[in-house]
Amino acid sequence: MLLLCFFIGRIYQSEQGPPLHRWHTWSADEMSPDEIDHASFAGYLSREEAIFRDMRLNLDNRLSEDEKTAINRFNARSPVYPAHFHTDWNRSFVLMPQGAPKGIAVLLHGLTDSPYSMRYLAEDYQQKGFIAVVPRLPGHGTAPGSLTRVNWKAWLATTRLAVREATRLAGSPLPLHLVGYSNGGALAIKYALDQLDDPALPAPQQIVLLSPMVGVNGYARFAGLAGWPAWFPAFARTAWLSVVPEYNPFKYNSFPVNAARQSWLLTQALQSQIVQQSRRGKLAALPPVLTFQSITDATVSTAAVVNALYRYLPRNGSRLVIFDINQAANISALFRAALPSATDRLLPKAPRSYATVVITNATPATLHASARLTPAGSAVEQVEPLSLSWPQDMFSLSHIALPFPLNDSLYGLHPSVVNRYGISLGAMALRGESASLNVGPETFMRATSNPFFDDMMTRINQHIACSQQADYASCIDALP
């Protein structure tokens, strides 16, 4: 009886929302996990090209007149139409360094995202002499309907494929760095854990994580139930948790039930494997993990990063960088009571097996930032002033802000080229009555770029530099 009431409520709730469009019902013909495991990267790119060709024919070219709005990413006449840009960052890409490569990096984007979010890190690795391989994970970069059919095992198979391609391009064994953002972070850790049991997989030397998806909201566990009524065509809308306009050229705005379900399944597999490998004593062979995480994150669980990952890591040079809230924000009276002390409550008491860095205000009254470093195995905190400051009106970072500098043309607070991709989302400041919009007001309130991006890259580059040292472990352990 309760289940029936749930379904009736779910159907009623979904029917109150906007109707589905062609981009919600069209889905890409992606490779299966087994096909990916037996494919070459060239074969994967060939399938990718066929997918985009099919999308143009059966989605973009078949929009109704009322769907051809000015900022619909599927409208060929829209300024946000990805195929118009010099580079369509929805596609997989590879960056080769000048001269002989010094290492290889595989960079994995997040859920509903695209390779665009890995652009800056990939270019940095290229400049440091690395081959950078950035795959488009199945179900992404095309239309949100593609996420209704994909599963996390296809994403993990694509991770293995990207490592195979990077290794092939290198021609000889080179240091491997895995870089993962959000869902891509979960995939990077999962690959490293799998490698501990499978020596045939190339072993990573370093893992770099941005807003990693180690844990998600508990509702995701039951997301599959929420979509059951969609088996009946009349209730197809229940397969979606949100249906909103698609105005972002490199990220989906609509979110299907299956995406939430797959994220939960992946994190459950990941957390279980971390515990198992810890009990077996195998985590001693895990490479150093460098993580950047906002203390406030509405997409993934910040606490899970500490309690489900870092608590199990050996003392191997791993480091956790936490971006605190802006303690000097002039809206402190509006903060939830627990927020100002959230970072102190998050971290277990020192000494810890890993180093921590907390990026926060130099004093509660100034926007200038400092870094509070506690080395692994120490209870003594060191404070280093930074030459960076909080923007006046930004009270925290967010899940989506970390990979983007303030001058990013799409997400930046101060875009270097306004509307380079048809819209500059990070610089938009809408004012009006909230009920007038068909997206939630939080959509344009969330921070979309990182004022501490340069400091983050400096810390990543320190780890890249250690790759070239004979004693990598000692180099990592000696980092400030």
User: Model confidence at 11, in pLDDT bands (50, 70, 90)?
Assistant: very low
What pLDDT is recorded for position 449? 98
Per-residue pLDDT tens digits for 173-199: 999 999 999 999 999 999 999 999 999
Is residue 9 scored above 50 in pLDDT? no
Q: Please tell me the predicted confidence (pLDDT) of residue 452.
A: 98
pLDDT tens sequence across 51-67: 999 999 999 999 999 99
Q: Domain 2-287 sits in which CATH superfamily?
A: Alpha/Beta hydrolase fold, catalytic domain (3.40.50.1820)
Q: Which residues have C-beta within 8 Å of that of residue 333, sequence separation ≥ 6?
A: none
Whole-number pLDDT of residue 3: 44
Ranges of each domain in the chain: 2-287
198-229 confidence digits (pLDDT tens):
999 999 999 999 999 999 976 555 554 454 45
Reported confidence tier of residue 235, pLDDT bands at 50, 70, 90: low
> In 10 A of CB 252, how many CB atoms?
26
Residue pair 191/204 in contact by the 8 Å Cβ criterion: yes
Average of per-residue pLDDT across 13-29 = 81
Q: What is the pLDDT of residue 229?
A: 54
Enter the pTM of the model.
Answer: 0.93
**Lowest-pLDDT choice from 68-77, 235-244, 457-466:** 235-244
Six token digits for residue 34: 């087994």
pLDDT at position 17 is 57
The side-by-side arrangement of strands in the sheet containing 355-361 is: 93-95, 130-134, 103-108, 176-181, 206-210, 289-294, 319-323, 355-361, 368-374, 382-389
User: Is the CB of residue 139 less than 8 Å from the CB of residue 28?
Assistant: yes
Average pLDDT over residues 358-384: 95
Region 85-96: what's the mean pLDDT? 97
Q: What percentage of the chain has pLDDT greater than the value 90? A: 81
User: How far, in Å, CA of 60 to CA of 52, rounded?
Assistant: 10
Q: Please return the burial class of 302, using the count of CB atoms within 10 Å of its CB with bins 0-12, 13-18 and 19+.
A: buried
pLDDT at 219: 55
Task: Output the pLDDT for position 5.
Answer: 43
| Mean pLDDT for the stretch of residues 270-294 | 97
Label residue 91 left, alpha or beta by phi (over 0 means left) and psi (-120 to 50 means alpha). beta
- Asked whether the beta carbons of 342 and 295 are under 8 A apart, the reply is yes
Residue 13 has a pLDDT of 46
Q: Which of 121-130, 132-141, 342-351, 437-446 has the lowest mean pLDDT?
A: 437-446
